[in-house]
Amino acid sequence: LKIKVPFKTSDVPHGQDVPLECLSHPFRLPEHVMRPEPDYFTYPFDKTKTDFFLINDKDTFFPPSTRNRIVSISFYTVNTIFTGIKRLLSNGTYTAAFPLHDRARNAECESERFNLYQHWARFLIFYKEQPLNLIRKYYGEKIGIYFAWLGFYTEMLFFAAVMGVICFTYGLLSYDNNVSSKEICDANIGGSIVMCPLCDKKCPFWKLNSTCLSSWQSHLFDNEGTIFFAIFMGIWVTLFLEFWKRRQARLEYEWDLVDFEEEQQQLQIRPEFEIQCTSKRLNKISQEMEPYLPVTSKCARFCLSTATVIFWISLIVACIIGVIAYRLAVYAAFASIIKDPMRKIQLVGKFITPQLATSVTASCINFVIIMILNFFYERVAIWITDMEIPKTHLEYENRLTMKMFLFQFVNYYSSCFYVAFFKGKFVGSPGDYTYMFGPWSKLRNEECDPGGFHRLPSGRHHPENRYSRWEQDHALLNFTQLGLFYEYLEMVVQFGFITLFVASFPLAPLLALFNNILEIRVDAWKFTTQYKRPVASKARNIGAWQEILNAVAILSVVTNAFIMAFTSDMIPRMVFLYSYDEHKSMRGYVNNSLSVYNISHIPERNMPEERDDWFGNSTTTCRYRDYRYPPGHQKQYTHTMQFWHILAAKMAFIIIMEHVVFVVKFLVAWMIPDVPTGVKARFKRERYLIQEYLHNYEVERLKLQLSASFLTEPQSEMSLPTDKHETLSECL
């Protein structure tokens, strides 16, 4: 198994301790829990060279995780077919096979499991560091890497959360300087502006100041600081990924994973592959016959898998379109009930508007659809992957990871993409509105608000004096091979939310930080008390999730740039301030951003069924959000030059922001090496010493063998020809 064990104490000097280490003392765990092991140089174990290694106690030479991994991976060869406990489990020979936990939590009999529960799995110590060495020793490197990544991700979220709070605080402090909201709320300005109906027939004309509250709320998240926060998050995600590579490289060396190759897992052929693949061929490396999947069958399965994935993605998109159609159809119904937004806002505790009522009900329906689709396509993804018959467990996990994340990406983020990039963007103008399925559908595209923008499982607990250790563990929940997969998936989906759409909600990193602090302790509690002890396995890194995070990081720069350009109101305000505002005070921006339409020009199919009395019969025009020439102009109802100025500014902003962030990203990635210099030096020193010590060890062993031979055999039999003496001397 090429298990690396120590053969010499490291002589490479470590970096100096941090001078402010006293500040981190409250976050440290006791030394007996952290178990800081001496720094050794290591080499793959060979039982013929036991005196070469530093073996103090044979009973504790291999840690518990290594011992249960050895038992699990053990197999024997029968007719060139690998057979082991996993196959015996799959065919029903055994019902369960699992390594035993340490003794139950007992302060009198301290154990590794007790230490993990006491110093890791309790929420009251959420501010303490994680005992990663103890986790690795008890559960193995693969689970240790997950908790190391989750802890590092949570640490980095702290900086993003602080910057998000600063951005939000800036919005609060600049509350009184928000001239646009003041104009909207002003009875003489916003109260005198009559807006065009938001839907056909059922929606009435309305006053702009009815959106006073939403305009103030929008300013908290859509202000000048949001631009800098979006740029900061583009750089933050690069720093997170680059620093994680360094942390991962350090763990690889400290946990003896540098030379660990994933190809070693090729020995762990899935029992399903052996059973279903009856064809055999010669392995060019091992020169033995092995099962394989013919190319024709592989292509057919791949085509069926691709078609199934496309079908389910199309189904998800169709469901989202159905929710959008619901929003468009039901909005008019709510508008006919809630005809006067001003009157409703004046009622104590009732801030009900057609937009709010429609959004809340549509969000509930969308949530139910997401949960239902999650239930079905999780099973579909597993079925597709099983159908492809991957050869190894590693290949199986990687394929399932990509399919599940693709499904989750479309399912969770499609609604966000609709709100960010489609809602309110293709509305049209009075007299020429755009409909979702054409004019016959009468589903007019939705406008944005004109004011702005399982229960946790539980196991049995029985006293040890009545039930044996294996009986207690058998009653716990089974930690499946895909257990970590779902943990990673949950966190990566969250990572997408706080990076892809963070420009629209700067407090998202703060909420994610609170969630992750709880997530670490809940996961720790589940591992130590609710699950059977999983079989330890090795892993150098987080696998396919690394590439997914890189892809999300690149996509986040693009999405945030487009959100700032087309969803935020920052670019139109900046263009007005520097090109059309002579006094540079932002006064008159609201009036400037609204176009005028003659009510008499509105087609009958768009006119409200009834007009409210409080408008007065003298109202002849209404306003709408756009930049078009007014009625009577020779280019009436066509886009003004300001519209093209703003569009050009938006495109320029996207190009500039993307180039700036990407240049900084690549510069940061170039400046920060993936492997720390100290780790490189220690690794090179170890490689050198391995060659030197092995050479000296073999020479000394050969000398001892020769000495023993000369002492035990007659001189005549030991005499060698001269040429052999010379050859032996050269060898020594």
Q: How far apart are CA 110 and CA 118, in angstroms?
A: 10
Same domain, 668 and 727: no
- Read off the pLDDT of residues 640-696 as tens digits, 9 standing for 90 and up: 999 999 999 999 999 998 888 888 888 888 888 888 887 888 788 878 887 888 888
Mean of pLDDT values over 276-292: 74
- Read off the pLDDT of residues 14-47 as tens digits, 9 standing for 90 and up: 655 444 556 666 777 777 676 666 777 788 888 8
Question: Three-state SS for 421?
Answer: helix
Same domain, 502 and 619: no
- Cβ neighbors of 415 (< 8 A, separation 6 or more) are 320, 323, 366
- Cβ neighbors of 507 (< 8 A, separation 6 or more) are 164, 165, 168
Which pairing describes strands 40-44 and 4-9: parallel, antiparallel, or unpaired? antiparallel
> Is residue 458 included in any domain, yes or no?
no
Burial class (CB in 10 A: 0-12, 13-18, 19+), 37: exposed
Which band of pLDDT confidence, cut at 50, 70 and 90, is reported for residue 294? confident
From 288-297, 374-383, 433-442, 713-722, the region with the lowest mean pLDDT: 713-722
What sign for the dihedral angle of Cα 61, 62, 67, 73? negative
- Read off the pLDDT of residues 496-547 as tens digits, 9 standing for 90 and up: 989 988 888 899 999 999 999 999 999 999 988 888 888 888 888 888 898 9
Q: How far apart are CA 200 and CA 246, in angstroms?
A: 58
Per the CB < 8 A criterion, the answer to whether 238 and 669 are in contact is yes
| Six-digit token string for 240 | 């997170």
Partners of 428 in the beta sheet?
433
Q: Whole-structure pTM over 0.85, yes or no? A: no
> Is residue 472 included in any domain, yes or no?
no
Flag whether pLDDT at 133 surpasses 70: yes
> Is residue 470 included in any domain, yes or no?
no
Same domain, 560 and 690: no
Task: Tokens 């103008």: give the residue.
Answer: 429
Would you tell me how many other CB atoms lie within 10 Å of the CB of residue 372?
11
Flag whether pLDDT at 466 surpasses 80: no
Flag whether pLDDT at 108 surpasses 90: no
Q: Which of 107, 138, 169 lies at the terminal end of a domain, its last residue?
A: 138
> Is residue 456 included in any domain, yes or no?
no
Length of the chain: 732
> Is residue 466 included in any domain, yes or no?
no
* C-alpha Rg value of the chain to the nearest Å: 34
Q: How far apart are CA 11 and CA 693, in angstroms?
A: 14
Partners of 623 in the beta sheet?
195, 596
Would you tell me how many other CB atoms lie within 10 Å of the CB of residue 379?
10
> Is residue 467 included in any domain, yes or no?
no
Which band of pLDDT confidence, cut at 50, 70 and 90, is reported for residue 445? low
Q: How far apart are CA 702 and CA 694, in angstroms?
A: 12
Which band of pLDDT confidence, cut at 50, 70 and 90, is reported for residue 84? low
> Is residue 265 included in any domain, yes or no?
yes
The pLDDT assigned to 456 comes to 36
Written in H, E and C, the secondary structure of 490-503 is HHHHHHHHHHHCHH
φ/ψ of 369, rounded to 5, equals -65, -40
Mean of pLDDT values over 277-294: 74
Averaged pLDDT score across all residues of the chain: 78
Q: How far apart are CA 268 and CA 390, in angstroms?
A: 12
Flag whether pLDDT at 591 surpasses 80: yes
- Cβ neighbors of 420 (< 8 A, separation 6 or more) are 501, 504, 559, 562, 563, 567
What sign for the dihedral angle of Cα 489, 494, 495, 501? positive
Per the CB < 8 A criterion, the answer to whether 203 and 608 are in contact is yes
DSSP label at residue 94: -
Same domain, 70 and 183: no
Same domain, 255 and 382: yes
Would you tell me how many other CB atoms lie within 10 Å of the CB of residue 500?
23
- Read off the pLDDT of residues 172-223 as tens digits, 9 standing for 90 and up: 888 778 888 888 888 888 888 888 887 777 777 888 888 888 888 888 888 8
Q: Which of 138, 165, 187 lies at the terminal end of a domain, its last residue?
A: 138
How wide is the angle at C-alpha 391 spanned by C-alphas 294 and 287, nearest 5°? 75
Mean of pLDDT values over 571-596: 87
Partners of 291 in the beta sheet?
280
Same domain, 511 and 521: yes
DSSP states of 286-340? T-SEEE---HHHHHHHHHHHHHHHHHHHHHHHHHHHHHHHHHHHHHHHHHHHS--
Give the closest residue to 406 by CA, choosing from 551, 237, 302, 509: 551
Same domain, 172 and 66: no
- Cβ neighbors of 297 (< 8 A, separation 6 or more) are none
Same domain, 196 and 108: no
Domain count of the chain?
4
Flag whether pLDDT at 154 surpasses 90: yes
CA distances for 529 relative to 120, 456, 536, 549, 596, angstroms? 12, 12, 17, 31, 67
Q: Which of 138, 163, 179 lies at the terminal end of a domain, its last residue?
A: 138
CA distances for 222 relative to 192, 217, 228, angstroms? 25, 9, 11
> Is residue 704 included in any domain, yes or no?
yes
Q: How far apart are CA 464 and CA 257, in angstroms?
A: 37
Same domain, 384 and 247: yes
Assign 3-state DSSP to the chain and report helix, strand, coil percentages, each to 5.
Answer: 60, 5, 30
Range with the largest mean pLDDT of 137-146, 350-359, 387-396, 599-608: 137-146
| Six-digit token string for 145 | 């890497």
Per the CB < 8 A criterion, the answer to whether 111 and 469 are in contact is no
Q: Which domain holds residue 32?
A: 4-138
Q: How far apart are CA 425 and CA 428, in angstroms?
A: 8
Same domain, 144 and 131: no
Give the closest residue to 589 by CA, choosing from 642, 629, 635, 651: 642
The pLDDT assigned to 164 comes to 92
Give the closest residue to 235 by CA, choosing from 670, 669, 674, 673: 669
Give the closest residue to 207 by CA, choosing from 626, 590, 622, 600: 622
| Six-digit token string for 94 | 């055994």
DSSP states of 532-571? PPPPP---SS-THHHHHHHHHHHHHHHHHHHIIIIISSHH
Mean of pLDDT values over 342-356: 49
Angle between the 544-562 and 224-254 helix axes, to the nearest 10 degrees?
170
Same domain, 177 and 39: no
Mean of pLDDT values over 363-382: 83
| Six-digit token string for 162 | 């602080």
Would you tell me how many other CB atoms lie within 10 Å of the CB of residue 82?
19
| Six-digit token string for 641 | 């030059």
Same domain, 561 and 590: no
